[in-house]
A = this chain, B = another copy of it.
Amino acid sequence: MSCKERVRAAVEARREEVNDAIDEQLPLARPERLYEASRYLLTAGGKRLRPTLLLLVAEALTDTDPQTQPYRSFPDLTDEPVDLMSGAVSIEVIQSFTLIHDDIMDDDDLRRGVPSVHREYDVGTAILAGDTLYSKAFEYMLETGAPPDRQVRALDELATTCTEICEGQAFDVEFEGRGDVTTDEYMEMVELKTAVLYAAAAAIPAILLGADDETVDALHQYGIDIGRAFQIHDDVLDLTTPSEKLGKQRGSDLVEGKRTAITLHAREQGVDIESLVDTDDPEAVTEATIDEAVAELESVGSIQFASDLAEEHVENGKQRLQRLPDNEARSLLEDIADFLITREY
């Protein structure tokens, strides 16, 4: 099996249980419209990659064979039961909250193939649904049954992560109006907006199960590394994947004038990135214009640069896993890292 097939199998093997847990912990309570809106995106799909990551870290760390222990009472490093699944649901719920609020801010109409929450309901309900998921995520993280000192650390990781995601989103918005963003600034934004939630998904199971500080830190960094790689690969895909596969216009980042690892590198090579594509008239941009722009970015090595950068982060991330016992779950965590930069859309 390829790494992609192994990751898909690992995710699929856990998806139903994760979905059931979400249903259990976020039932359709009163007020019904609020909980319907809060559940809407969560039940519309999603790979459940972050919950899978969290569960695999637990399996790798405790050296247990994947899926042989119940996630609701998973033996920690001293053999005491922890409700890991509640932590996994917490992370997925945070992801969902950020998507709902981001879609309002970006006024995106579609998400996971269905109307975004503020389109299906209204802006007020979408704000409130996101706010509800936000506190619910903290409630779920408080239901793991782990010893109090570990719960405090897990909640600290969760709260800091949420603050950083907000900061990342704010930088993203700020950068759209700035012509002088550096690659370093861009990478900081990516770390905050995208990578920290992977870091939380990887570090929190280690915290809950009682791992030592070095292991927690290594797993956090693994998450940061693969999260950065994920975003850079996304930037590459936007230019290199045919529109029909991508599910959106190829080159949309260029059309929208977004800064990416690729355009920022090109600018450093002397390319006038503002003139690559006419961003004043997005409707008029042709496939041929995108082809030309991509050719220019290729000629100065910017696409190769981004691909290499993503791969470098993946390799760093995989190195961090050396602190874990050598087992099947750890090997799947390596596969997830590889998967993030080999996926085609």
Q: Which residues does A use to contact B, with CB under 8 Å? A: 30-31, 33-34, 101, 104-105, 123-125, 127-128, 130-132, 134-136, 138-139, 142, 147-149, 151-152, 155-156, 158-160, 162-163, 166-167, 169-171, 173-174
A158 partner residues in chain B, CB cutoff 8 A: 138
Are A131 and B173 neighbours in the complex by a CB distance under 8 Å? Answer: no
Are A34 and B135 neighbours in the complex by a CB distance under 8 Å? Answer: no
Are B131 and A104 neighbours in the complex by a CB distance under 8 Å? Answer: no
Are B166 and A135 neighbours in the complex by a CB distance under 8 Å? Answer: yes
* Known contacts A101-B127, A127-B104: A135-B148 contact under CB 8 Å: no
Instruction: For the complex, give the distance between the alpha carbons of A159 and B167 in Å.
Output: 21
30 example contacts (A-B, Cβ-Cβ < 8 A) are as follows: A30-B167, A31-B170, A31-B171, A31-B174, A33-B170, A33-B174, A101-B131, A104-B124, A104-B127, A105-B128, A125-B173, A127-B127, A128-B169, A132-B163, A132-B166, A134-B162, A135-B160, A135-B162, A136-B159, A138-B155, A138-B158, A139-B159, A139-B160, A139-B163, A142-B159, A147-B148, A148-B148, A148-B149, A152-B152, A155-B155
A125 partner residues in chain B, CB cutoff 8 A: 170, 173
Query: Given A101-B131, A136-B163, list of 5 further CB < 8 A pairs?
Result: A105-B127, A125-B170, A131-B166, A134-B134, A152-B155
Kindly report which residue of chain B lies nearest to residue A143, judged by CB atoms. B156
A105 partner residues in chain B, CB cutoff 8 A: 123-124, 127-128
8 Å CB contact of A31 from B135, B162, B167: B167
Kindly report which residue of chain B lies nearest to residue A106, judged by CB atoms. B124
Are B166 and A142 neighbours in the complex by a CB distance under 8 Å? Answer: no
8 Å CB contact of A132 from B31, B139, B156, B167: B167
Q: Name the 8 nearest CB pairs between A and B, nearest first.
A: A135-B162, A148-B148, A34-B170, A105-B124, A138-B159, A31-B170, A148-B149, A132-B166
Instruction: For the complex, give the distance between the alpha carbons of A33 and B152 in Å.
Output: 30
A167 partner residues in chain B, CB cutoff 8 A: 30-31, 34, 132
Are A162 and B127 neighbours in the complex by a CB distance under 8 Å? Answer: no
A33 partner residues in chain B, CB cutoff 8 A: 170, 174
Kindly report which residue of chain B lies nearest to residue A104, judged by CB atoms. B127
A147 partner residues in chain B, CB cutoff 8 A: 148
**A130, A138, A156 — which one has the most chain B CB atoms within 10 A of its CB?**
A138
A149 partner residues in chain B, CB cutoff 8 A: 148
Are B138 and A170 neighbours in the complex by a CB distance under 8 Å? Answer: no
8 Å CB contact of A162 from B34, B124, B131, B163: B131
Instruction: For the complex, give the distance between the alpha carbons of A105 and B105 in Å.
Output: 14
A159 partner residues in chain B, CB cutoff 8 A: 135-136, 138-139, 142
A130 partner residues in chain B, CB cutoff 8 A: 131
A166 partner residues in chain B, CB cutoff 8 A: 34, 128, 131-132, 135
Kindly report which residue of chain B lies nearest to residue A173, judged by CB atoms. B124
Q: How far is the CB of A103 from chain B (nearest CB, A)?
A: 11
Q: How far is the CB of A128 from chain B (nearest CB, A)?
A: 5
Kindly report which residue of chain B lies nearest to residue A161, judged by CB atoms. B135
Instruction: For the complex, give the distance between the alpha carbons of A166 and B151 in Å.
Output: 24
Instruction: For the complex, give the distance between the alpha carbons of A132 and B166 in Å.
Output: 6
Instruction: For the complex, give the distance between the alpha carbons of A156 and B167 in Å.
Output: 25
Q: How far is the CB of A286 from chain B (nearest CB, A)?
A: 31
Kindly report which residue of chain B lies nearest to residue A38, judged by CB atoms. B166
